Chain A
Amino acid sequence: MAVIRPAGDYDTSYEQDMAVIRKRWQLALLLAMLAALYTLPLYTSSATVSFVNRAAIFIIAVQGLNILTGYTGQISLGQAAFMTVGGYVSALLMGVWGWNFFLALPVAGLMAGLVGLFFGLPSLRVKGFYLVMATLAAQFIIPWMTSNLWKDVLNGAQGLNVPVPEIVLPVVNGLCYLGTQFDAETVRCVYRFSTPSQFIYITLTVLVITTILALNISRTRFGRALISVRDNDLAAELLGINLFHYKLRAFFLASVYAGLAGALLASNLRHINSETIGLNDSIIMLGMLIVGGMGTNVGPFFGTVFMMLLEELAVWATPIIVGLISSGVLPGNAAGVGAALRPLIFGTSLALFLIFEPRGMAFRWNLLKASWRLRPFAR
C-alpha cells in the first residue's frame, strides 16, 4: 500500500525513499518497544510472558506463511507440518546428538525448508485449491512419518523430549560471569533458558531477526517478483520471471520460518510429537494471516496476537458462561460451552473480517497512520 503523506513531505534521496524508519522518534519508539518487550519478565506475570512467548513463535510461522501466501499467492495448509519437521530436527540434534540449541535452531529451519521445497514441487503444475490439497498432503504425511517411521530414533507416537536450551561459558578465574551458574557435572558456567521468563529472550531475538528479513524480502527484487507472481503469474512469466523457481523459493522460505518456529515451540514445550501441532493449527495460522492482513509485514503480528487474545478471551469467558448456565440465567448445556466457544469465536471473527475488512487489520492500521499524518485534514 502506498504511503499517504501530506504535501511537502517527500524524500530527496534513494536512501530516504527506502528507509524503514523515517524519523528519529520512530526509531526511539521502536527501541522503547523492544526494550519494553525484552524487560517484560521484570514487570509482568509469568503467564503474560508465556503468552508473549507463544505469540512470538506463531508470529514467526505466520510470517513464513505470509511470504508464501501473502506475497506469492500460494495458499498452503502445510505450515504446521513444517513446524513439526523443525521441532523434530532440533529435538534430534539437541537430545540425541547433543548439539547446542543455537546451532540446532538454524539447521532445523534449513531442514524444514528442504522438506518444504519437496512439497512445493506441485506448485508448478497446480494452483489455488488444488495446491491447497497438495500442501494438505504434507499435513498428513509428515505427522504419520514421525509417529510410524524410524521409531528407534523418533520414539514413535511418544515423540521426543527436548533439552532446555543453554549457554555454556568457561569458568574464568574460578568465577562464572553474566548470570551463568556453575555446573559441577561439566565444570562449566551454564545459563539455562528453562522458564518462560528466560526463554522469551530467544523467541524475541529470533522474531526480530525474522521480521527484519521478512521486511527486506518484500522490498527486494525477489520480493517484487513474488508479488508479481501473486498478482498475475502469466504476466510475470512474460516479464521473464521463472515461476517455478520463485514459487519454490517462496516455499523454501516459508518452511524455513516454520522450521524455526517449530524448533522454538519444541524447546518451549520441551517435547515434540506428531500431535503437538496439527492441521487445526495450519488452518488457524491461515486465519491469523487473513485477519491480520495478507501481504503486509505487520499483518502476522496483528493477526496472531488478535486471534490468540480471542482464545484467551474464550478461556476466560468459559467459566463465566458455564456459571450463568448452571445458575439458570442462560439456557443451554454447560458441558458444551468449552467445546463450542473457541471454534465459535474463531469462525465468527474470521467471517466478520472476510465480510467487513478482507484486507485485514493491517489495512486499518495503515489508514489510521495516514489519518494521523494528514491531520487535521484526515477524515
Chain B
Amino acid sequence: MKRIPLPLIILSLFLTAFLFAACSSPAAEPTAVPEPTEAPKEEPTEEPMEEPTEEPMEEPTEEPMEEPTEEPMEEPTAEPTEEPEAEMRTDNLEGETITFYHFGDLSGPYAAITGPLINGMEDAVAALNEQGGIRGAEIKIEFADTGGSVEEAVAAYDRFTSENDNIKIMFTYGSGEVEALASRFAEDEIPNLSAGLSATGFYGPDSGYTFGLGPIYPDQFGLFLDWLTANWADVKPANAGDEIKLAYISWPGAFGQGALTDETRAYAEELGVEIVTEEIFDLSPTADATTAILNAQAAGANVIWTNTLAFGPAALMNGLGALGLQDEFILAGDNWAMDLATYAFVSDPALAVGLISPFPYLWWTDTDHPGIQYAQALFDANERGPGEHNVGYLLLVAGVDVAAQAIENAIDEVGYDNLDGAAVHKALTEMGPYEGLDGVIRLDYSDGSRSPHVAQIRQIQGGPDAFVVLQDWTETPDLRPSE
C-alpha cells in the first residue's frame, strides 16, 4: 500500500480537528453579527473620545434603558409571574435533593486538615437533613480526593460538572485549586465556598464566584502586623530592639507564599516592619527548618511568620526548640497554623506555646457559645476521634450553615425550580453581615468583597486547646490584590 505523505496527513488532521471543533459549537450555523453592538462601539471611537462617550453613553442609558426595561420588563414578568407565582416552590421541598460538591486532599500533604473538614461537612449535613434539610429538600454530598494535585482537582471539577449541569454550590479547601479553578467557577456560575484563602483565587481578574470562609492570607498577615506594631513594646523578645524585623519562613507554593504579596510588602513597609529574609522549607512532615531559622537569625529577624499548617509550624517549633532560640523570636502564622493538627508533629507540646495567629472563628473552648455547643454536640454524637477536634471540623460545620442559609435565601428569591448557582451567588452577595453558626464565623460578602474582613488574634498559652484571645474581633486591613 502506498505511503501517505506526512504533510498531507497533518494538514488533513488539522482540517478534521477544526471541522469537528466547529461542529461542536452550539451555533454551528453562521451566526449573524449583532448590529447594534457594532454601531455604538465604532462610532464613538472614531470621534474624539470624550464627548461622544459622554453623550451616547448617558443619553441612551437614561432613555432607552429605562423605557424599554419598564415596558418589556413589566409585561413579560407581569404575566408569567402570575402563573408561576402560584407554582414558585419555596417550601415543602420533600423529595427534592440539593447536592453539595466538594473536593480536597485526603491523600496528600494537606490531608491532616482536609480530613476533619470533610467530616465536619458530613456531620453537619447529616444533622441538617435530620432537621428537615433545606426547606424539606435533602442535602447530598459528593466528594472527590485530589491528593493535593491541582490537575486532579480540575478533573474532579470536570467530573462533577458533567454529572450535574445545575450545581448550586461547591466547597474547596486548597489554595492551588482555588486559583486554578477560579475562572471556571465564574464561567459556569458555580459559587465556591473555600477554605483555601488565596488572594489571587478570590480577587483575580477572572474570579468572582469564589467566597472565603476566612480572611485571605494577605489580610491575616496585615492584621497580625497591625497588632504587632501596636503591641511591640509589650511583646517583643527580650533581646530585640525597637525595630520589628520579620522573617517569612514558609512552604513553597500558592498556600505557603500566599501571604507575601506586593500589597503586604507595601503595608509592612508602611508600618515600619522590615522583611529581612524570605526562607523556604520542604512541604514534608520530616522537613527540617533549622537552616531557615538560622538564616533568619543571621539576618537579624526577631519575628517569624509562616503560612503553613500542621507539620509546617511544627517544623519551626521543633527547630526553634532544638536551637534554643524560642525566646529570640515571636512565632506567628496563618489561621491554620494554630490548630490541634500542629500538635501531632511537635516533639514537645511546650514548644507550641507562644504561637500567635489571626483567628477568624471561635474555638472549641468557647463552650458558652451556642454555635460551639452545637458543633460539640455533633462531634460527640458522631463519635469523632480527638484528632479531629480541630479547626477543619468546626469551620465546615459553620460553612454548611452559611451555604444552607444562602440557598434558603436564593429559594425565597427565585423559587426552588429556578434555583441555580447564579441565584446562590446573588444570595451570598446580598446576605450582608452574617454570623455563621450563631457567630462562630463572621462573614460579609457585600460591596465586592468575597472574603471576611474580621478576625481575632490568639496566642497559644499552655497546653493544647489553650488558644487565648489577645485581641477580640477586629477589622483586618484590606490587602486584596489591586487590579
A residues sitting closer than 8 Å to B (CB atoms) are: 15-16, 18-24, 27, 34, 38-39, 41-42, 45-47, 49-51, 54, 143-144, 147-148, 156-159, 161, 167, 171, 174-182, 184, 187, 189, 191, 193-194, 196-198, 201-202, 204-205, 208-209, 212, 216, 265, 268-271, 273-277, 315, 318-319, 335, 338-342
The listed residue (B17, B106, B159, B252) touching A47 by CB distance below 8 A is B159
The one of A198, A276, A335 that contacts B150, using a Cβ cutoff of 8 Å? A276
Shortest 6 CB-CB distances between A and B: which pairs? A46-B162, A179-B25, A157-B257, A50-B158, A179-B22, A338-B106
A contact face: mostly helix, strand, loop, or mixed: helix
Contact residues of B: prevailing secondary structure: helix
Contacts of B42 in A (CB 8 A): 187
Q: Which of B2, B3, B145, B258 has the most CB of A within 10 A?
A: B145
| Contact among A42, A196, A277 for B158, CB-based, below 8 A | A196
Contact A275 B150 (CB under 8 A): yes
Extra contacts besides A268-B154, A275-B254 (4): CB < 8 Å: A54-B151, A176-B30, A181-B25, A315-B144
Q: Which of B33, B159, B205, B254 has the largest number of chain A CB atoms within 10 A?
A: B33
Q: Known: A269-B180, A341-B107. Contact between A208 and B13, CB under 8 A?
A: yes
Q: Which residue of B lies closest to A188 (CB)?
A: B33
* Contacting pair B17 A204 (CB below 8 A): yes
Among candidates A22, A198, A277, residue contacting B21 with C-beta atoms closer than 8 Å:
A198
Residues 162-190 of B, flagged 1 when their CB comes within 8 A of A and 0 if not, give: 11000000000000100110011001000
Q: A338-B106, A340-B107 are in contact. Are A181 and B151 (CB under 8 A)?
A: no
B158 touching A209, Cβ below 8 Å: no
User: Do residues B23 and A339 form an inter-chain contact, with CB atoms below 8 A?
Assistant: no
Contact of A270 among B23, B41, B155, B183 (CB under 8 A): B183
Which residue of chain A has its CB nearest to the CB of B19? A178
* Given known A-B contacts A187-B41, A315-B145, A339 and B21 have beta carbons under 8 A apart: no
Q: Chain A residues near B200: list those with CB within 8 A.
A: 158
Q: How far is the CB of B28 from chain A (nearest CB, A)?
A: 5
Jot down 27 A-B pairs with beta carbons below 8 A, ordered by A.
A21-B1, A27-B1, A45-B162, A46-B158, A46-B159, A47-B162, A49-B158, A49-B162, A50-B154, A54-B155, A143-B252, A158-B254, A161-B206, A179-B21, A179-B22, A179-B27, A181-B27, A191-B21, A201-B24, A265-B151, A268-B154, A269-B151, A270-B180, A270-B183, A273-B253, A275-B254, A315-B144
**Residue B198 at the chain A interface, CB threshold 8 Å:** yes
Q: Provide the B248-277 mask, 1 if CB < 8 A to any CB of A, else 0.
A: 000011101110100000000000000000
Assess the B25–A277 pair: CB atoms within 8 A. no
The listed residue (B25, B37, B107, B163) touching A339 by CB distance below 8 A is B107
A66, chain B: closest CB distance, angstroms: 19
Which A residues touch B206, using CB under 8 A? 161
A189 cross-chain contacts in B, Cβ below 8 A: 31, 33
- B161 contacts chain A at the CB level, 8 A cutoff: yes
Which residues of A sit under 8 angstroms from B25, Cβ to Cβ?
179-181, 191
Q: Kindly provide the distance from the CB of A169 to the nearest chain B CB, expressed in whole angstroms.
A: 10
B252 touching A275, Cβ below 8 Å:
yes
Could you tell me which B residues sit within 8 Å of A by CB distance? 1-3, 6, 9-10, 13-14, 16-25, 27-28, 30-35, 37-38, 41-42, 106-108, 111, 115, 143-145, 147, 150-151, 154-155, 158-159, 161-163, 176, 179-180, 183-184, 187, 198, 200, 204-206, 252-254, 256-258, 260, 280
Contacts of A174 in B (CB 8 A): 32-33, 35
Interface centre among A50, A167, A338 (most CB of B within 10 A): A338
**B176 with A273: CB separation less than 8 A:** yes
Q: Which B residues touch A177, using CB under 8 A?
A: 30
B37:A184 contact, CB within 8 angstroms: yes
Q: How far is the CB of B84 from chain A (nearest CB, A)?
A: 31
In the assembled complex, how far is the CB of residue A13 from the closest CB belonging to chain B, in whole angstroms? Answer: 10
Residues of B within 8 A of A147 (CB): 252-253, 257
The listed residue (B21, B23, B258) touching A167 by CB distance below 8 A is B21
CB nearest neighbor in A for B14: A205
* A338 and B37 within 8 A (CB): no
* Contact between A16 and B17, CB atoms less than 8 A apart: no
Cα-based distance from A46 to B183 in the complex (angstroms): 18
Which of A158, A176, A178, A340 has its CB near the most chain B CB atoms (within 10 A)?
A158
Q: Give the CA-CA distance A276 to B32 in the complex, in Å.
A: 40
- Closest residue of B by beta carbon distance from A308: B155
B118, chain A: closest CB distance, angstroms = 10
- Chain B residue nearest to A322 in the complex (CB): B106
Q: How far is the CA of A158 from the CA of B254 in the complex (A)?
A: 5
Q: A274 contacts which chain B residues (CB < 8 A)?
A: 252-253
Contact between B31 and A342, CB atoms less than 8 A apart: no
One of A161, A179, A182 near B183 (C-beta < 8 A):
A161
In the complex the two chains form, what is the Cα distance from A27 to B2 in whole Å? 11
Q: Which residues of chain B are near A204, meaning CB under 8 Å?
A: 17
Docked-complex contact A339 and B151, CB < 8 angstroms: no
- Of the candidates A18, A157, A205, A216, which one forms a contact with B256 in the assembled complex, judged by CB atoms under 8 Å apart? A157
Q: Which residue of A lies closest to B145 (CB)?
A: A338
Q: A147-B252, A158-B200, A273-B176 are in contact. Are A180 and B31 (CB under 8 A)?
A: yes
Chain A residues closer than 8 Å to B187, beta-carbon distance: 194
B164 to A: closest C-beta gap in Å: 11
The docked-state distance in angstroms from the alpha carbon of A50 to that of B160 is 11
> A15 near B3 (CB under 8 angstroms)?
yes
**A107 vs B164: C-alpha distance when bound (angstroms):** 38
Known contacts: A175-B30, A201-B17. The answer to whether A15 contacts B2 by CB under 8 A is yes
One of B24, B31, B184 near A182 (C-beta < 8 A): B31
A38, A171, A318 — most chain B CB neighbours (10 Å): A38
Q: How far is the CB of B183 from chain A (nearest CB, A)?
A: 6
Q: Say which residue of A148, A158, A181, A198 sits within 8 Å of B179 (CB atoms).
A: A158
Closest Cβ–Cβ distance, residue A218 to chain B (whole Å): 14
Smallest CB separation, A360 vs chain B (Å): 24
Query: B407: shortest Cβ distance to chain A, in Å?
Result: 24
Of the candidates A20, A159, A187, A338, the one whose C-beta lies within 8 Å of that of B107 is A338
